[in-house]
Amino acid sequence: MNKFITLVLLFFLCNPQSIISQEKNTTSVLNREMIDISKQFPSDIFFKKAVLFFLEKNWDSTLVYSQKQILTSQTKPLLDYSKFLRVYSFTQKKVFKEAEKEYSLISKNFKLYNLAKTYLGVLALEQRQFKKAITYFEDVIDLPEREYELIKKSSIIHNLGLCYLHLKKIPQAEFYLIKSIKIKEQQKDTLALIGTYGNVASLYYEQYKDALAIPYFEKAYLLAKKTNDFDLKRKATKNMAVVEENRKNYKKALVYRKEMEQWKDSLNDQNKIWEVAKLEKEFAVKEKQKEVNILQVENKLKETQRNLFLYSAAGLFILLGIGTYFYREKVKANKTIALQKENLDALNSTKDKLFSIVSHDLRSSVNALKRSNVTLLDNLASKNIDAIGTLLHKNSAIVNGAYNLLNYALLQTKQSYFNITSMSLFFITEQVAYNYKPLLLEKTIHFENTVSKSSLINADQESLKIILRNLLDNAIKFSKQNGTIKVYSQNNSPEYCDLVIEDTGFGMNEATRLKLLETNFTLSKKEHEEVIGTGLGIQLCKSMIKKNNGKFSIKSELGKGTKMIVSLPKTQDNG
């Protein structure tokens, strides 16, 4: 009987093989399934990690994360998956009780429920809890065809047979094992077939049904011969040897024994080869490690070089940026300088022009004064009083011209005080006209100021006086003896007060009038050398009226007289 026990044990060792081969197939399908599921729920990080560790076959970590997933997550579909992962991991760790517990928690509708059951069955078988194994296996034996995608039916049948064999329930064992053989013969699963033949043979052999058993042993032996698995060969040969021994056919038994020894040696050789291969592998790994180290060093070197390059590039870039910035600043500064230069040039040219005008006109007036003084002295010597009076008036006109020049210069340089205030037009006119009283008297010109005393205008006092002085001066200059000059205000618009200086003098033609109103000032050649400032006075008036926000117009008829009209803004709040 001892012999038989050894035989039986021998065949149990074949069992896992068949299951593993079944598993390999399943694992890839299962792996894919798990990956798909974890992709469907990207937010469940614990499940993702559990699947990751499951793929890496790190069962402890799989257990930890699947447990975390069960405890923390609300995602229901993942609950069963997590539990399945736990069953799987416990099965792999051969902790039957825990696996069973987890399994009991899986809902029966779960897709992988039956697979879990199968795993439990296999584990129970391995743990020699045959009855339990049988209950698990019998549950999965009669499932609809589609369920066998992940479960190998033949293996289950085989395992059931094994269980019954161990429980000495020979008829059931025989039934399942023969069925298993039939399926495997159909599938041509040689390795599993050898194991199953062995099992069936030992089944019969144990019942002393040698006639039935021996063909199976022989079948197993013949099949084993074709394979490259030395261990299987050895076991099959050993079985044959035992069979022959029991038949007292020692000669044959010896042959089988020798063959078995041979296979054993081969197995040992193979083991040695494997060891050598392992050593070689280790050596290769070491070599690889060295290579890796070298590469790492190289990488470090490269990294350093790259960093150096990066830093220098960054440095250069910054330098370029700074350079560009300063270049731009410089360009800007240059532009500003150019602009300033232009302005300065313009100002300088104005100044030069001004100087030329001033020097020319000033020289003219000084010369005029000199000549006048000489004449004055002559007249004084001859006591010609009338002529002296005329000369003095002429002198005052010359001085007035010089003033205009000065004011014009001041206006150009914008250095003069200018402050617009409210004032009475009547009184300003009175004050300005006061200086001309003697001149008016001398020319017997009738003068009247009928400006409304209530008209208040906004203007700068000094510039308004200059304007009035010039206009009055002109009016007197171009008036005939016994003429009339009227100064009056016109209230034509709500914003402006018109001041009209009207004379009955020579008047002017349209061409002269338009020329006077032209804005660009050109030094005209003096027609009468002793009366300077022709043109300048009116230009000054126009500039100053403009500065006082006023308007200027001329109405004139040749031979009848001229109206100079100055419109100035009224003081609004005084109505």
395 binds other proteins (CB under 8 A): no
431 binds other proteins (CB under 8 A): yes
427 binds other proteins (CB under 8 A): yes
Closest approach of other proteins to the CB of residue 335, in Å: 30
Identity of the residue, 5 or 406, whose beta carbon is nearer to other proteins in the bound complex: 406
Instruction: Specify the 3-state DSSP secondary structure of 89.
Output: helix
Out of 41, 418, 488, 521, the only residue in the binding site for other proteins (CB under 8 A) is: 418
2 binds other proteins (CB under 8 A): no
Instruction: Specify the 3-state DSSP secondary structure of 298.
Output: helix
Closest approach of other proteins to the CB of residue 522, in Å: 26
Identity of the residue, 262 or 435, whose beta carbon is nearer to other proteins in the bound complex: 435
CA distance 69 to 446: 118
Identity of the residue, 84 or 436, whose beta carbon is nearer to other proteins in the bound complex: 436
Closest approach of other proteins to the CB of residue 459, in Å: 14
Q: How many CA atoms lie within 13 A of 356 on its CB side?
A: 7
Out of 17, 246, 384, 416, the only residue in the binding site for other proteins (CB under 8 A) is: 416
Facing residues of 500 across strands?
488, 565
Identity of the residue, 232 or 425, whose beta carbon is nearer to other proteins in the bound complex: 425
Closest approach of other proteins to the CB of residue 489, in Å: 14
CA distance 556 to 401: 23
430 binds other proteins (CB under 8 A): yes
CA distance 126 to 135: 14
Out of 39, 258, 453, 555, the only residue in the binding site for other proteins (CB under 8 A) is: 453
267 binds other proteins (CB under 8 A): no
Strands, E, within 445-504: which ranges?
Answer: 446-449, 456-460, 484-490, 496-503
Q: Which of residues 460-519 bind other proteins (CB under 8 A)?
A: 462, 465
Residue 543 is which amino acid? Answer: S
Q: Decide if 87 contacts 74 (C-beta within 8 A).
A: no
Token duo for residue 219: 């079948």
Token duo for residue 418: 């200018």
Q: Decide if 217 contacts 239 (C-beta within 8 A).
A: yes
Closest approach of other proteins to the CB of residue 415, in Å: 6
Give 208's DSSP letter.
T
Closest approach of other proteins to the CB of residue 368, in Å: 19
Identity of the residue, 288 or 437, whose beta carbon is nearer to other proteins in the bound complex: 437
The CA–CA distances, whole Å, from 388 to 55, 80, 444 equal 130, 133, 18
CA distance 451 to 444: 21
**Phi (first) and psi of residue 559, to 5 degrees:** 85, -15
CA 563 to chain centre: 73
Closest approach of other proteins to the CB of residue 373, in Å: 20
Determine the interface stretch with other proteins among 68-76, 102-110, 408-416, 529-537 (rule: CB under 8 A).
Answer: 408-416
Contact positions vs other proteins (CB under 8 A): 410, 415-419, 424, 426-427, 430-431, 434-435, 453-454, 456, 462, 465, 574
